[in-house]
A and B are shown apart, each in its own frame.
Chain A
Amino acid sequence: MEKFLLLVREDLKRRAKLTPAEFDHQTQLMTQWVESMARSGNYLQAEPLTNDGRYVGREYVVSDGPFIEAKESISGYILITAESFDQAVSIAQGCPLIANGVGVVEVRPILIMSNE
């Protein structure tokens, strides 16, 4: 089994406008998905993020900027195990935000440092 990081991206402006009930409902759909991944033994960890963010560079700290400007920004992460990159992609396709057309998922294999 290999590890993969799933980065969930969605339109944070849209996300900020959700009513508490809508936001809870969206979270419940994600919870059901997370549970199904746990049941199949693929789930390691997952958390949603707030809509805030700051960019830190050598000579600057920028609030908002790129987070709000970009069409889609990271709104949560899920760490999973999968048998292959293809399977991780296949699991990511089950994200309810994709089915609802409000999000995309970036699938990134965790780099294993080899000492050989």
Chain B
Amino acid sequence: MNDPRGHIVRDRVDDVYKSHYGKLVATLFSHYPDIPLETIEDIVQDSFAAAMTGWTADTLPANPAGWVFTVCRNKAINKLKGEKNRWLQLDEEMDKEENEGGNADLPVKLLFACAHPDLSPKIQVVITLKYVANLRVDAIAGALGMTADAVEKMLFRVRKKIREEGILLTDPDPSLGASRLPTVHKIIYLIFNEGYKPSSGDEAVNEDLCEEALLLAKELIDHRLGDTDTAALYALMLFNAARFRSRTGASGELLDLDQQDRSLWDQPMIALACDFFRDAREGAMSPYHYEAAIAWLHCTAPSFAATDWATIGDLYLRMLRMNPNPFVELNYAIALYFAGKKSKAFELMNGLLRQSFLSQYFLLNAALGKCYLLDGDYDRAKTFLTRALEQTGNPREIAFIRSLMEKIP
């Protein structure tokens, strides 16, 4: 382990882990159904540990994934030795997979398997990150603002279900695939949002998570498994990802849209998003279409002041008619404020405040504080900003609210 070039091995092992962990687990699980899933995962972990100690910078295997797979298989066979094991006869498919380190279509199949209707969206997200995006438990915990222990507990419960029902084994047939597509979209959307919202993780934007979400959507499109909603979702994420760099200032502080440097926006990415958004328009409107349209209006507005807030407000209203949602209603109210319909905006926000759970919502109090500040109603601004300050523990959000409070004369 004192190899000065040890990082070369570590990086390589990490790469293989990143690209193959879920595939290895699923492949072994499908070939050795009598081995419990926990044991399968232990075998895969052990095999990666073996790679860490067994490889040196000079003796990296030509096919690292195949190497790990062979070790996994041997360990699995050892586990089963001494038992009556009809499944030990390896079929040709198995040997073929060994060369590739897994079946190429497997990640997409796994994605649909993770969209199991009996699991909560949160668990669907966690197992997608674990088995499709191949993130380690501590990375998942960090990304979702959970403790590693909580993620482990969640995985423990879901493994039990996987064992009982063979969820990861399920090779969704085409009709099932289509019925699960909306859930797959939701998983991708939620992963992107987790990366995008500043309250999770250490970074202002967890770009890795956003990138995973983009990759998953692209995977669906490339495999022709998506529909127009997939295109809308992909466009929506691209429109937002194109603006990542401007969301924070020089010292990493959060910037509101009106303070962002629009020249930092990734124009080629916006153009790409427009292409997919055009494809999406052939289909019926979904919430992803509305959100993509809103993001498109932001991306193509020459300035904050010149933004078409009236249309954005209208799009939020249509979203609300489709699915009432107090959190979307807040966005609607903010759009109304900037569209010049201030009294209606305050009326809506104060209405939301009367909903008990919303009254403790950081973004509602922060938005009210900011709008009253812009309106010159400093007493109210101070009240709401003070409340918002008590409602977040995120250092970036605290700094953001403090910077607003400094503007109160």
Contacts and interface: CB of A to CB of B under 8 A. Distances in A.
Verify that A and B bind, or say they do not. yes
B357 A47 contact: yes
B323 A84 contact: no
A90 interface: yes
Interface residues of B, number: 29
Contacts of A40: 121-122, 186, 190
Contact of B357 (A30, A41, A83, A99): A30
Contacts of B326: 38
Contacts of A91: 120-122
Nearest to B145: A32
B123 A90 contact: yes
A36 interface: yes
Q: Which 4 pairs between the two chains have the least Cβ-Cβ distance?
A: A86-B118, A40-B121, A90-B120, A83-B117
Interface in B304-346: 323, 325-328
Given A28-B362, A39-B327, A87-B119, 18 more contacts: A21-B390, A24-B390, A27-B356, A27-B360, A30-B357, A31-B360, A34-B357, A35-B327, A36-B121, A41-B186, A41-B323, A48-B357, A83-B117, A84-B117, A86-B119, A91-B121, A94-B120, A99-B150
Interface of A: 21, 24, 27-28, 30-31, 34-36, 38-43, 46-48, 83-84, 86-87, 90-91, 93-94, 99
Nearest to A23: B360
B251 interface: no
B358 interface: yes
Contacts of B325: 38, 43
Given A38-B326, A43-B325, A87-B117, A27 B357 contact: yes
A84 B122 CA distance: 15
A1 to B, nearest CB: 10
Interface in B180-207: 183, 186, 190, 193
A93 B118 CA distance: 13
Contacts of B287: 41
13 contacts: A24-B391, A28-B362, A39-B193, A40-B122, A40-B190, A43-B325, A83-B117, A83-B118, A84-B118, A86-B119, A87-B117, A94-B120, A94-B122
Contacts of A99: 150
A38 B329 CA distance: 11
B361 interface: yes
B184 to A, nearest CB: 13
Contacts of A42: 121
Nearest to A93: B120
Contact of B120 (A21, A48, A87): A87
A94 B358 CA distance: 18
B375 to A, nearest CB: 25
Contacts of B362: 28
B149 to A, nearest CB: 10
Nearest to A27: B360
B89 interface: no
Contacts of B122: 36, 40, 91, 94
A99 B150 CA distance: 9
B355 interface: yes
Nearest to B364: A31
Contacts of A41: 186, 287, 323
Nearest to B323: A41
